Amino acid sequence: MENQNFESSLAKQALTEQRKSRRWGIFFKSLTLVYLVVFLVTVNEWLGDEDDVEVGRHTAVVDLDGVIAAGSTANADDVISGLEHALESKNSVGVILRINSPGGSPVQSAIINQEISRLRTNHPDKPIVAVVEDLCASGGYYAAVATQTIYVSQASIVGSIGVRLDGFDLSKAMESLGIQRRLLTAGENKGFLDPFQPMQADQRQHALDLLANIHQQFIDAVKQGRSGKLAKDESLFSGLIWTGEQGIQLGLVDSLGTVNSVAREVFQAEKVVNYSVREGLGERLARRLGTSVSESLFKSIFYTDLLN
């Protein structure tokens, strides 16, 4: 019996040592990953710093590409940061906001519009223009109208000056399936956009009033930005879209042009430098490694508690 107890004690001690060794191993691996993350971020910032690079006289470009939203690449902070960097460059002669966007958040679009107006006032010696590629609709156009001039291709799509609120009414489908919705709210209208229950007439009117208010903000921004240029046509604000060629006739945009033609003929600085904020290789690796660190730490804590 004593011999069995002794062997059992040795086994427990060996298991304890293995657990300690495993915990320390995970700890040092995680620490190494943390140092690697810091190193990669530092190198990325060093390599991405264009302030010390002499590029000569040039045209600056900032991209507004994709859906405009806080979490997308076309978010207001990044677009504005790119514009500011471009304007502060001593060798940039002007800035092109290259747009290829279907729109998105009215808030993010309005912020870009307002900041472009501010930057134009603060940097009157450097024009900010927009060049539309395939699409400049809704929020994309909201941003464009704050620039000095809007250039398009003949087949570009522009316009869509409107606001929408999407949803479904699945209440009848629920009823046919014999499913009853259980929704508890504090505030009688808190769930008025819930797709599983019908919308009341007063709630529908409230939603329409809300959209009308945001639509009017959009219209006001367009009229201010395109002052004296718009055709007297109320369909301009109906949400319709037009080709670039039609847009010129309606005063929505100014003339035909591309990034290269504007740089060459308008700014007379053929060299183009892109100032768009991009996620570099170091940042992508750092983000992934950061996730790995978190997972390793979680496993270390979880399994240690589980084994103990």
Return d(Cα 101, Cα 108) in angstroms, integer: 13
Cβ-proximal residues to 78 (8 Å cutoff; 6+ apart), any chain: 276, 277
Q: How far is CA 142 from the centre of its chain?
A: 15
pLDDT category at 180 given cuts 50, 70, 90 is: confident
Tell whether 99 is covered by a domain: yes
| Between residues 263 and 54, the one the model is more confident about | 263
pLDDT at residue 239, rounded to an integer: 96
- Taking the C-alpha atoms of residue 71 and residue 100, their distance in angstroms, rounded to an integer, is 17
Give a yes or no: residue 53 inside a domain: no
79 and 170 share one domain: yes
Is 50 exceeded by the pLDDT of residue 52? Answer: no
DSSP E strand stretches across the chain: 58-65, 92-101, 128-137, 150-152, 157-159, 241-243, 255-256, 272-274
Question: For residue 146, is it within any domain?
Answer: yes
pLDDT tens, position by position, 198-240: 888 998 999 999 999 999 999 999 999 999 999 999 899 999 9
Residue 302 structure tokens: 């979880």
Backbone angles phi, psi at 289, to 5 degrees: -70, -35
Query: Residue written as tokens 């808030």?
Result: 107
My answer on whether 77 and 185 are in the same domain is yes
Q: Are residues 96 and 125 in the same domain?
A: yes
Give the pLDDT band (50/70/90) at residue 176.
Answer: confident
For residues 195 and 302, state if they share a domain. no
pLDDT tens-digit readout, 262-285: 999 999 999 999 999 986 544 445
User: Domain range holding 97?
Assistant: 58-274
Domain identity same for 268 and 193: yes
So what's the pLDDT on residue 49? 47
Q: What is the DSSP string of 86-120?
A: HHH-TTEEEEEEEEEE--B-HHHHHHHHHHHHHHH
Instruction: Assess if residue 22 is contained within a domain.
Output: yes
Q: Are residues 42 and 177 in the same domain?
A: no
Residues 17 and 79 in one domain: no
Tens digits of per-residue pLDDT, 60-91? 999 999 999 999 999 999 999 999 999 999 99
Co-location of 33 and 70 in the same domain: no
Distance CA 189, CA 203 (A): 8
The pTM for the full model equals 0.74
64 with 186, same domain: the answer is: yes
Residues 27 and 158 in one domain: no
What is the rounded CA–CA span in Å between residue 148 and residue 144?
Answer: 9
Same domain as 144, residue 106 = yes
Identify the weakest region by mean pLDDT among 14-18, 176-180, 240-244, 279-283. Answer: 279-283
Domain at 229, CATH number: 3.90.226.10
**Residue 253 domain flag:** yes
Whether 172 maps to a domain, the answer reads yes
**H or E element at residue 45:** helix 2-48
Q: Provide the pLDDT for residue 29.
A: 65
Cβ atoms within 10 Å of 79's Cβ, excluding its own = 25
Q: How many domains does one find in the chain?
A: 2
DSSP track, 171-218: HHHHHHTT-------SSTTTTTT-TTSPPPHHHHHHHHHHHHHHHHHH
Is 119 inside a domain boundary?
yes
CA distance 88 to 152: 26
Residue 105: C-alpha distances to residues 9, 46, 83, 143, 222 (Å): 65, 33, 19, 11, 16
**Is residue 192 domain-shared with residue 287, that is, in the same domain?**
no
Which pLDDT band holds residue 124 (cuts at 50, 70, 90)? very high
Please say if the pLDDT value at position 173 is more than 60: yes
Report pLDDT for 205. Answer: 94
CB 191 within 8 A of CB 185: yes
Distance of alpha carbon 218 from alpha carbon 39, whole angstroms: 45
Going from the C-alpha of 17 to that of each of 3, 7, 13, 305, the distances in angstroms are 21, 15, 6, 15
